[in-house]
Each structure stands twice: as structure tokens, then as C-alpha cells.
Amino acid sequence: MLVAAVADGAGSAPHSARGAAVAAAAAVGTLLRDGGPAAGGSEGTRAADRDVEARRARDAEGLAAALQAARAAVQVLADAEGWPVRDLACTLSCAIVRPDGVLAAQIGDGLIVAVGPDGVVTAVTMPQRGDYANETTFLTSEGAVAAALDAMTRADVDVAAVVLLTDGLLRLALDVATATPHAAFFQPLARFAAAIDDVETATAHLAAFLDSPRVRARTDDDLTLLVAATGPAEP
Amino acid sequence: MDERSDPLHGDVLAGVEFADNPEPRCAVALVLDTSGSMHGRAIAELNAGLQSLAAALKADTLASLRVEIGVLTFGGSVRVLDPAGGVEAPADPADAFVTVDRFVAPALSADGETPMGEAVGRALALIRARKERYRTNGIDYFRPWLLLVTDGRPTDRGWEAAADEARAEEGRRGVSLYAVGVEGADMRTLARFCGEDRPPLKLAGLAFNELFTWLSKSLSAVSQSRPGDQTPLPPVGWAVADTSH
């Protein structure tokens, strides 16, 4: 079981890189502190988790708290620096991943995909776009957190790996015409995630992949890619 | 296993395949006055400006695949040109735009009255048809542009309705309308086609070349913008203050 978040600063917002960093850290920190995953270890909690509905409700509360904490953290930074909060505009995609499903909330044009043990690829979130290709919503937009919580999505599928990415990779990872994840993009990433035995080495491999000529030939945006395997299912 | 050389990981990532998506598009409708008053130097400079536009956009690899141009003229009657240089008007309104790599700048001549209202109405309809085409084919797109150039005032009945429609379409962010008045243009009437945030600008002399150079730079910037970008446009070096009212 794991929690994950990615955030991408808005191109037009001068301090959006710091906004994105603060937002993602606050979201994950909140989930680790009071969300479901932190409670996943003890025998007693595992018994309680047999009540699936109760667990799901807790996960949803955790995710709501995570997004609210991200918004609050961005506000705190803006106030401390004397910047308008829109100068920290960023997207945020956030997920609680369990072997039997993913719960996710998202503001903006990120993408969260689950890959099953059989290689089946499921979009947990899809990028939110405005009418036009250069428009999306941001964590700092009016009402964005409430809308994202209303639109929280859950994919009840067996999960071997989860992939989160930001908009720079969308045109490589999504088949736009059918609005579906490009399976041949995600399946090798899931195999990669399953084989990770050293995080630093794996991170270096991923960075090299993102900086490789064949990726750079297709996008000049900044890129964020998070891959994680759920590991063997609990007995 | 030696993690630092770790051949498995590199091989696995080499197997990541990419989706093959069409480029996002930015349509621009050029709605050009070819009425009798444009005859002579004005139409010659306009034609030269269109050549500059084509050359500049073709030289920008990404813009040449993303920017789509359609041309309508109003001089006597309204004509929708084949932007790929053919003599027949496109049969399907959605075919009135081509990507810049296929665009052939027309050689326009000037004659007749100024049915500007009808031309703007037709252009808005072509833009709507093009957007529908994008949606049907799953193509991302930017907000289309409409560049209206005139040296006069509309002579057609009902131009006011077309002006209202244009202003409403701009208001609901369906199009970015830029209106340019050449010497002799009725700027107050032209303003009725425009949103409050984007009033018409008056061309300095016959600086069509500067106008279309600005347009190509603007379209290059917009067609490569990303979510959240405000896409600052290059400074307008071709306009003068309007002192006509």
C-alpha cells in the first residue's frame, strides 16, 4: 500500500516550481500522518480493514485532507513570501494505492494510471482540460479543491503498479482520439517498477529515460514521472 | 546483481512505446477586405504581407504543423478561398483551413462593395465547423483566431447582426478576434465587431508586412504554449493611435 502525489507548476506563474514542491510534499505528508496507509501496519487495523466500506471512507477522508493541506501549504508560503497565491499555481494529482484498487483526486492535467498483474491498463484519473489545449485548472484556482474532491475517482482493479505523470508526457502516454492510456507506454513502466530493488538506481534510470533523445524529440516541456509497484499482495 | 550497471532496467525502459497523436491545432481565419478602395498599392502590400506570413510560418517547424490558415475575402461578394492554392472553394466548410505546410498565399485583386458583415459571419461558421472537425477526430486545439482587415465600412444589410455575433463569440472565448483598420477605415464601426478587451487597431500606413510578421510570431507563440501559459504576444509595431474619433 502506498501514497503518491505529483504536481506541475504553471508556466505563467513565477514561483510555481516552489508551489508544486510544497503542494506535493504537503499532500503526501498528510496522507502518511493521518491517512489510511499509516494505519496499515498493525494487526488490529488490518482487522478493521475487513470492513471495506469503512476503509474506503477513511481513504476518501485522507485524500480530502491531503488536498486541503496542499492548498493551505501553498497559501502559507504565499503569505510568508508576500506573493499573490496565483504566483504559485500548480496542478496536483494524488493517489492512495492498495493492491485491490486506487483512490485518486486531481486538479489539472495530470494522469494517474493503474496497471494490473495481467498488464491491463486502467486510467484512474484523466487530464482536466479547458476548451483549449493550453488551458487547465490549478490548485490555486477558485473552487478547485472542492471540485476535485467532488470528482474523486476510484478504480477497483488488481494493481501491480501505478504510474503518475504531468502534462509534459501526455502526448506520449495518452491516445488523444480515444482518450485512453497508451498501453504500450505503461506496461513496460509497470515491469520496470516491479523490478526495482534500489530506488536511487531506478530513479537514475528514469531520469535518463526522460532525458533520452527519443523522449526529447517529442516534448520540450518539463517532465514528471512517478512509477511504483505495490509488491506482493498481502496474504 | 550489480545495481549500477543493472541491464534489466535500461532494457525495460527502452521498450516503452509512445502514443502517436496528431499535433494540436490553432486555426486562424484571415478575413480580408478586397473591395474597390483597396485597389492599387494597398492590395499589393496586402499580397506581399500574405507571402511574408506564409514564409515565416513555414520556417517554424512546429508552427507549420499546428497553425491552420483559412482565407475569406470581401470585395463585391464574399469568397472562401482554397488555402492550398486551388481555384475552387472548398466544398465542405470544415476544409476551409489547411496547416501552414500546405498553405499557398493567394494573389488577391480588389473590386466591388464591402460585404464585411457577411464575411465575418461566414468566417465564424467556418471556425465552428473546423472545431467540430477537431473534436470528431480527437485533435486538441487552441482558441482560433480571426483577423479582420478593412479600409472601409460594411455595405451589406444586416452587418450589425454579424458584428453582434462576433462580439458574443469573442465574449464566450470561442475566438480571438483582431480587427485592423487601414487608412480610411471607419474605426467606430469596426469596434462593433470587437470585444472590449481587444479594440480595433489602426494600421500605420500600409505596414501589412509588419502586421503579418507580428501575426506569424504571435501564432508561433500560441501554438507552442502549454497549460497555464499566458502566451505574451510580441509587441504591436504596426499600429498607430486612432484619432478619427
Residue A170, classed as helix, strand or coil, is: helix
B214 in a structural domain: yes
B13 in a structural domain: no
Task: Measure CB to CB from residue B143 to each of A12, A132, A192 and give the nearest one.
Answer: A132
Pairwise CB contact (< 8 Å): B19 & A175: yes
- Could you give the count of Cα atoms lying within 13 Å of A187 in the half-sphere of its Cβ? 12
How many CB pairs below 8 Å do chains A and B form together?
111
**Distance in angstroms (rounded) separating the CA atoms of residues B60 and A106:** 35
Task: Measure CB to CB from residue B21 to each of A176, A184, A195 and give the nearest one.
Answer: A176
B15 in a structural domain: no
Q: What is the pLDDT of residue B228?
A: 67
Q: What is the pLDDT of residue A40?
A: 47
Greater model confidence, A49 or A148: A148
Residue A35 reports pLDDT greater than 70: no
Looking at the complex, report in whole angstroms how far the Cα of residue A165 sits from the nearest Cα belonging to chain B: 14
Here the ipTM equals 0.87
* pLDDT bracket for residue A226 (50, 70, 90): very high
**What is the CATH number for B208?**
3.40.50.410
CA-based nearest residue to A166, from A209, A106, A217: A106
The pLDDT tens digits for A161-182 are 999 999 999 999 999 888 999 9
Classify strands A180-181 and A153-155 as parallel, antiparallel or unpaired: unpaired
The set of cell numbers assigned to B157 is 444589410
Residue A112 reports pLDDT greater than 90: yes
B18 in a structural domain: no
* pLDDT bracket for residue A221 (50, 70, 90): confident
Q: Could you give the residue ranges of the DSSP H alpha helices within chain B?
A: 7-14, 41-58, 61-66, 116-136, 159-171, 187-191, 208-223
> The domain containing residue B97 runs over which residues?
24-114+134-225
Pairwise CB contact (< 8 Å): A131 & B12: no
Spatial neighbors of A96 by CB under 8 A, at least 6 apart, are A1, A2, A3, A31, A35, A36, A37, A59, A62, A63, A102, A103, A104
Average pLDDT over residues A83-109: 96
Q: What is the pLDDT of residue A87?
A: 94
Q: What is the pLDDT of residue B58?
A: 94
Pairwise CB contact (< 8 Å): B228 & A136: yes
Greater model confidence, A129 or B68: B68
* pLDDT bracket for residue A234 (50, 70, 90): very low
Any idea where the domains of chain A sit in the sequence? 2-229
> Phi-psi bin for A204: left (phi > 0), alpha (psi -120 to 50), beta?
alpha
B17 in a structural domain: no
Mean pLDDT (chain A, rounded): 90
In chain A, the residue whose alpha carbon lies closest to the alpha carbon of B133 is A177
CA-to-CA dists, residue A174 to A126, A161, A168, B21, angstroms: 9, 17, 11, 8
CA-based nearest residue to A81, from A7, A16, A9, A10: A16
Looking at the complex, report in whole angstroms how far the Cα of residue B10 sits from the nearest Cα belonging to chain A: 7
Pairwise CB contact (< 8 Å): A195 & B8: yes
Q: What is the pLDDT of residue A177?
A: 85
Task: Measure CB to CB from residue A177 to each of B6, B138, B143 and give the nearest one.
Answer: B138
> Chain B contacts of A201, Cβ < 8 Å?
3-4, 6, 9
Pairwise CB contact (< 8 Å): B17 & A182: yes
**Residue type for A149, please?**
L
Classify strands B67-75 and A174-175 as parallel, antiparallel or unpaired: unpaired
Average pLDDT over residues A31-58: 67
B202 in a structural domain: yes
| Best to test chain B binding among A88, A132, A225 (most B CBs inside 10 Å) | A132
The pLDDT tens digits for A138-161 are 999 999 999 999 999 999 999 999
Find out if CATH 3.40.50.620 is the number for domain A2-229: no
B1 in a structural domain: no
Task: Measure CB to CB from residue B19 to each of A133, A138, A182 and give the nearest one.
Answer: A182
Residue A208 reports pLDDT greater than 80: yes
| Best to test chain A binding among B4, B9, B145 (most A CBs inside 10 Å) | B9
Residues of chain B predicted below pLDDT 50: 1-5, 7
